[in-house]
Amino acid sequence: MTDDPEIIYPKWQPQMRSALVETNSDKLLERVKEAERAMSKRLDKISRSTSHAAEIKAIEDAMDTLDVLRIKASQQKAS
């Protein structure tokens, strides 16, 4: 058994997790961009499907989190 939560959406969750755990402020923005690209690509594929409503909601929530990470990374670079 691992301490890592289960990956439910493997098309974008690994990139999101990488952004969440990145401690190097120089790399954080790149990790955020990688996660955004993966989520946008996935959202393009599933956005017209009602059977993916839970994943679409998860992506929307994750994108909100990425906004916070982006602000944090920008503040760290400015200081």
The rounded radius of gyration (Å) of the Cα atoms in the chain is 13
Give the largest Cα separation in the chain, rounded.
45
Residues 6+ apart with CB under 8 A from 53: none
State residue 1's pLDDT score.
Answer: 39
6, part of any domain: no
pTM score of the predicted model: 0.86
Domain region containing 45 = 13-78
Q: From the first residue on, what is the mean pLDDT of each consecutive set of 10 residues in the chain (79 residues)?
A: 73 96 91 97 93 95 96 82
In a domain, 8, yes or no: no
| Domain annotation covers residue 3 | no
Q: Would the CA dihedral through 77, 59, 19, 41 be positive or negative?
A: negative
Q: Are 28 and 11 in contact (CB under 8 A)?
A: no
